[in-house]
Amino acid sequence: MGKGTRSREAARIRIEQMRAAEVARQKRRRLTIATSVVVVVVLVIGGLVALKAAGVGSSKGSTNATYGSTPLAANVAAQVTSVPAATLDTVGAGAVTGGPTKITAPALSDGSKPKVLYVGAEYCPYCAAERWGMAVALSRFGTFTGLGMTHSSATDVDPSTPTLSFHGSTFASTYLSFVPYEQTTNQPQGTGYKPLDTLTAADQQLFTTYDASPYVTSGGSIPFVDFGGKYVISGASYDPALLAGKTQAQIAAALSNASSPIAKAIDGNANAITVALCAMTGEQPSAVCTSKGVQAAAAGLGSG
């Protein structure tokens, strides 16, 4: 077995271990929520009364918009959302050990458009890794506004992994709809983290149903992404440790350098995600879906 093969196998094993740890963490979190539901209801009612008295309104999915991310600098956002097509083609499948898995499920849509459902949290290091490729890939189909920047929990594995945040952002596309949820911030509160976005009942049902066997092998983990009922992601597609010690600006700058280990992971992941997005859109736009990099990534995707 060659050195490269051993390295890829070691990376694959580590990601599987991380996914298992995330599953356990999610189960503990859900148990804590379940046993505390009465107290939470009382506190929420009291909080709503106080907010109403203070004249404070609310927005979709947000319990406290003052927590979480800060705005991403415009030049950094531009580098993330406009990675050259030539770079993505050169990277191809890149150096990823996971990615979208094909599923058989009812089509998922938002109005007349196929829908991408993303569920993550700002404390989560695996979400921190996956957001980069998600942003690069989705930007080939539309335009982001209001991307944020944050880092994963300082006390979790791969502490303070630098990343983006989808909280408060919007995505405009003629091809698809992107519905993201960042469930919590990276700021501790009690046994978990301060809440941020709340899933609708319908999206919660989708998350519960498809973030489980037989659709994924590591059910219960985040990030979770449902690509129109055609593919899902559960967990990170590469090791978050790759981003340790970097700033968002450094990561964004590396995305255009096809020989960079960061580009090989993130751009390779973006190409794999693009395969799933193209399956949703009927292989449109054609120039993206038939590109060399996307075709290379398609050859390596698994099925469920």
Per-residue model confidence as pLDDT tens for the chain (304 residues): 555 555 555 555 555 655 555 555 555 554 444 434 333 333 434 444 343 333 333 333 333 334 568 999 999 999 999 999 999 999 999 998 888 999 999 999 999 999 999 999 999 999 999 999 999 999 999 999 999 999 999 999 999 999 999 999 999 999 999 999 999 999 999 999 999 999 999 999 999 999 988 888 766 789 999 999 999 999 889 999 999 999 999 999 999 999 999 999 999 999 999 999 999 999 999 999 999 999 999 997 754 4
Q: Which of 112, 140, 159 is nearest to 271 (CA)?
A: 140
Alpha carbon separation from 271 to 56, 96, 136, 138, 242 (Å, rounded): 42, 10, 9, 10, 18
- Mapped onto helix, strand or coil, the DSSP state of residue 268 is helix
Cβ contact 177:261 at 8 Å: no
Residues in the chain: 304
Q: What is the pTM of this model?
A: 0.80
Q: Which of 42, 138, 100, 81 is nearest to 298 (CA)?
A: 100
Q: Which conformational region is residue 267 in: left (phi greater than 0), alpha (psi within -120 to 50 degrees), or beta?
A: alpha
Alpha-carbon span 114 to 77, nearest angstrom: 25
Q: Which two tokens stand for residue 255?
A: 């995305």
Residue-range definition of the domain harbouring residue 65:
3-303
Count Cβ atoms below 10 Å from residue 24 Cβ, excluding itself.
12
Q: Which of 278, 270, 267, 292 is nearest to 102 (CA)?
A: 278
Domain total of the chain: 1
